[in-house]
Every structure is written in structure tokens, then in C-alpha cells.
Amino acid sequence: MSDTVLSLDAVEKVFPNGVRGLAPVDLTVRAGEFVSLIGPSGCGKSTLLKLIANLHGPSAGSLRWWGSDFRGVGQKGRRLAFVFQDATLMPWANVGRNVRLPLDLMGVDRASGDARARTALARVGLGHAAERYPAQLSGGMRMRVSIARALVTEPDLLLMDEPFGALDEFTRNRLDEEMARLCYQDGLTTLFVTHALHEAAFLSSNVMVMAAHPGRIHARYAIDRTIVRDEAFRLSERFAEISRELAVLLEAASHESHLAAEMQT
Amino acid sequence: MRSAQAISILAPVLLGIVVLALWQGACRLWHIPPYLMPSPSDIAAALWHDGPALLHALLSTLEVTFAALAAAVIGGVLVAFLLVQSPLIERCLMPYVVIMQVTPIVAIAPLIIILVKTTPVALTLCAALIAIFPVISNTLQGLRSVDPDLAAYFRMYKASRLQTLFRLRVPSALPMFMAGLRIATGLSLVGAVVAEFVAGTGGNSAGLAYEILQSGFQMDIPRMFAALFLITVAGLALYGATAGLQRAVLRHRA
């Protein structure tokens, strides 16, 4: 229990317009896990992520951070990092200063900020690129910078919202392998929102298949943590099997979402 | 690529030479008197002969231009920062900014020159009023053109107002501001010349506009063209300088 970074206990969200965004959701993320949220649109993935990012509060239920209620811990106490769909880098600043940004905003001094930025860049294979500018980088490299900017704060939990959706398949696969290494070798705990089934199958130790109307977790699917996530795994029978089983769950969740939507109208 | 670049420089230069040659030829062929239409060689002679006096006038015009530009940039940026602070402030002030913009400054220049006793200050004020609007509107638009995702990122890390201003808003506004500066630089020169025309000040601090007026009165048309030539060269130099500054400041952006 002590290794539980984040736990959601019967968390609900009703929007001011009366729409139920989330039915009671229970979710636990343990240290070192890679948890994916996958599901049809409107299933509350983004709502869930915003609750965890504390961009809005739950209507009912409680969120706990290392076992203590969110409200008690405060924003500073939760070491969270974010990676969005776009790299959202500052075009006027070089890569090193982009990665240092969260440290600058937290008031870390320049020298140690620079050192930590270099370490974080090395972890995503961009140790040589600190002096370059975002405009000089490819889409994949920009996304790596964005990941380094998240790593530099040494977060307890990394939240990723469809981070590689805009990249080509080859780049996306490389970055997925990179993420797998960061999680399963370096112990980075990650909560990952994705549309892509094969990405969830490749990366996750736990997949939450969500359904919509209202948003809820339809099924939970665990994947052996000890699998080495590399190119060979992507071609293996095991990967195909996981993808098939997830596809069946996702299909059922989508079907239920449609039925629920028809019931409402 | 290299040859394309060479053509883009050579072609207009060649065209210029051809036009000058035709101009010179036409003046010679039809014996057009210089007080009607001076030939390029007449203008060059006037430029050579009156050069020192005209350059002195140019310097005085440029003094007004730069003072006006500085005033327009400082004033314009301050007004833009004020306007962006709250929608209420903007709603109060924006109509007056627009009124100021649509009023031809030439029309109120005589008033300014009467009200403000010191002539150089009056000239600077007129030129600054002409140049300030693009600074205000571009800086304002720039301060608003912040990437919403990046702004959300700053909020998530609880960035302070000052941090958000200097690390996000100001750098985001820079491309629009530089474009505004480029327009304002050209307008400052226009404003300085227009103000000089209206004021008609002679004496030691007479600008190029005064030289043009005087040349007109004296039917010294080649000298008039020479003064015009100097204004154009000054305008080109200012344009080139701000374009270079713009490139240097924004060199790393896509």
C-alpha cells in the first residue's frame, strides 16, 4: 500500500451543465507502473487527467497522493509532470532553457538547473542538442525535449495526454520504446492517455479500458511487467494476443457507450 | 539558388540604370529645361554642389525621426501594456486610440505647433503621433498571441504574474512588436518630414522638408530632387536597419 502514488476513490464529476462526465471511478497507480487510459471519445479520459492535474475538483469522492488527501498535500507537494499532444516548447528559447523552464518557475538556481537539464536531456538521447532551437528540430526530437522537460522535475508521476498522436508511425514506435525504457528500467511512474490500441498494448503494465455516457472504467487489463518492450516484442505472438484481447474489450466498451448514449436520448 | 539571388539583385539595378538612361536621354533630346524636369546629371550636380547643406538638413530631420521613433516605441509599448491589463481599461481607452489614429495628424499639426513652443519638441510630437499607432496595435496583438497550451503549462507550474509576463508574454509578443517597429520607423520619417512642412521652420535646425520648400520657391528643381533623393536613401537605410534588427532578434524562430 505504501507504494501507491495515486489513488482515486469513487471519484465523480458532474459538470455545471448537469452532464455526468465521470461515474464513480476507482483507480490506483503504484510506483513504477505504466497505466494507460484508452476508450472512445467522451469516455472521460481528459476529465480524469484534469482532475489528477488539479485543474478542476471532483464532484464527489477523493483523490489521494501517497495516501494523503489531495487538498491536504497542495500543489507544491504533488510532484507531477505533464506532456501534451504538442511539444509546447518556447520557440524563442534553446532546448536547454526549455527543459529548465519548470525549475526556473520553481525558483531553482541557474547552475543546478542547467546541470539537471543536461541530465534530463541525456536520458532522452538529446545530450548534444541543448544549444539548438525548437525550429531546428524534427517533431520527434521536439517531443523528446518535452519529455526531458517533464523528467527534469524528477516527478513521482508523469501524466501524458495522447503525446505521440501527431507523429509518424516510425518516430512514434521509437518514442514508445524510449518511454518503456524510462518506465521499466528507470522506474518512472506514468499515466498515459491514448487513442492507439497498439501503443497501450506495447507500453502498459495496466490498461484501463473506459466507456462513455457517463465516463467510467469498463475493464482493467494487466500485462506482465517483466516483458522486455522492444522491437522483437512488437512482432511477437504475445503482443498480437494482447492487442487482440484489448481490441475485444475496447469494442465492448464502445458498444456499451453507444447503447448508453441511445438510452439517454 | 545563388544565381536566383543574383538575378533578384541585378534585375532591379539594371532596370534602374535603364530608366535613368532614358530619363537623361529624354531631357537631352527634347531640351527640357531643368526648372521643369531636371535630368539625372543635373540632380547629381546639385547633390554634389549642395551636398553639405542638404546633409546638415538631413541630420536635423533624422534627429526628429529618431526622437519620434523612441517616443512612439516607449509610449506605444506602455499603452499596449496598460490596455492588456484589463478588458475594462481597453474598453475605456481603445476608442480614443482609434480616434487618434483616424485623425490626419497633418490636420492637427498646426495646432500642436502653436501649443508647443519649442519647435523641435513640436515636430517630434507630431511625428511620434503618426508613428505610435502600429506600435500600440501590434504590441497589443502580440501580447495576446500567447500559445494557449504554453500558457496552461505556466499555470500548472504556478508561475507568478511577473514570470508569466517576462518569460511568456513578452517573448510571445516580440514577432508582432518587431513588425510594428518596422512600420513605425518608416512612419517616423514620414511624420518628421510632414511636421517640418507644416512648421516651415528655417534657420540652423531646418530639415530636409524646409530645403524642399525653399528649393520650390526658388525654382531650384534639381536641388529639390537632390533633397528628395536623400530622404529616399535615409528611408531605405532605416528600412534595412529595422529589417536586419528584426531578423537578428527573431533568428531562431521558425
Can you give the CATH number for the domain in which B196 is found? 1.10.3720.10
The count of structural domains within chain B is 2
Q: Are residues B79 and B142 in the same domain?
A: yes
Q: Specify whether B12 is located in the same domain as B126.
A: no
Of A58, A44, A50, nearest to A213 by C-alpha is A44
Residues B155 and B119 in one domain: yes
Task: Give the distance from residue B150's alpha carbon to the nearest chain A alpha carbon, in angstroms.
Answer: 6
Residue B40 burial (10 A CB sphere; 0-12, 13-18, 19+): middle
Residues B22 and B116 in one domain: no
Which pLDDT belongs to residue A76? 66
A134 DSSP 8-state letter: G
Q: Minimal Cα–Cα distance from B84 to chain A, Å?
A: 21
pLDDT (0 to 100) of residue B205: 65
Whether residues B111 and B91 share a domain: the answer is yes
A92/B171 Cβ within 8 A: yes
Asked if A135 lies within 8 A of B254 by C-beta distance, the reply is yes
Q: From the list A86, A102, A105, which residue is nearest B149 (CB)? A: A86
Same-domain pairing of B131 and B7: no
Nearest to B150 among A75, A88, A105 (CB): A88
**Chain B contacts of A55, Cβ < 8 Å?**
156
Q: What is the pLDDT of residue B196?
A: 86
B101/B209 same-domain check? yes
**R_g of chain B computed on alpha carbons:** 23
Q: Which residues does chain B have with pLDDT short of 70? A: 1, 201-205, 254
Distance CA B160, CA A200 (A): 37
B220 and B156, same domain (yes or no): yes
Domain encompassing residue B27:
1-31
- Residue B162, in any domain of the structure: yes
Q: Do B22 and B135 lie in a common domain?
A: no
- Smallest Cα distance from A40 to chain B, Å: 23
Buried b (16+ CB within 10 A) or exposed e, B47-82: beebeeebeebbebbbbbbbbbbebbbebbbebbbe
| Cα gap A197→A251, rounded to integer Å | 11
* Cα-trace Rg, chain A: 19
Residue B1 confidence (pLDDT): 56
How remote is the C-alpha of B208 from its chain's centroid? Answer: 15
Q: Specify whether B168 is located in the same domain as B230.
A: yes
My answer on whether B12 and B89 are in the same domain is no
Suggest the residue from B145, B150, B155, B157 to mutate for an interface test with chain A (most A CBs closer than 10 A): B157
| Domain match, B43 and B91 both | yes
Pick from A189, A222, A212, A220: nearest CA to A26: A220
Q: How far apart are CA B83 and CA B251, in angstroms?
A: 29
**Alpha-carbon gap, residue B136 to B216, rounded angstroms:** 37
Residue of B nearest to A133 (CA): B252
Which chain B residue lies closest to A89 (C-alpha atoms)? B150
Assigned domain for B240 exists: yes
Cα–Cα nearest to A104, from A137, A153, A46? A153
Helix locations, B86-169, DSSP H: 87-102, 105-115, 119-144, 148-156, 161-164
Residue B254 lies in a domain: no
Q: What are the residues of chain B with a beta carbon less than 8 Å away from any beta carbon of chain A?
A: 147, 149-150, 153-154, 156-159, 163, 167-168, 171, 174, 252-254
Q: Which of B149, B158, B254 sits opposite A84 (nearest CB)?
A: B149
Cβ neighbours of A93 in B, within 8 Å: 171
In chain A, the residue whose alpha carbon lies closest to the alpha carbon of B160 is A105
Mean pLDDT of chain A: 89
- The angle at the Cα of A132, spanning A130 to A136, to the nearest 5 degrees, equals 140
Is A53 close to B154, i.e. CB distance below 8 A? no
pLDDT value, residue A28:
92
Q: Do B159 and A91 touch (CB under 8 A)?
A: no
For residue A88, give how far its alpha carbon lies from the nearest alpha carbon of chain B (Å).
Answer: 6
Residue B30 is predicted with a pLDDT of 87
Q: What is the pLDDT of residue B202?
A: 61
Question: Residue B142: its pLDDT value, please?
Answer: 92
More confident residue, A192 or A166: A192
Q: Is residue B113 part of a domain?
A: yes
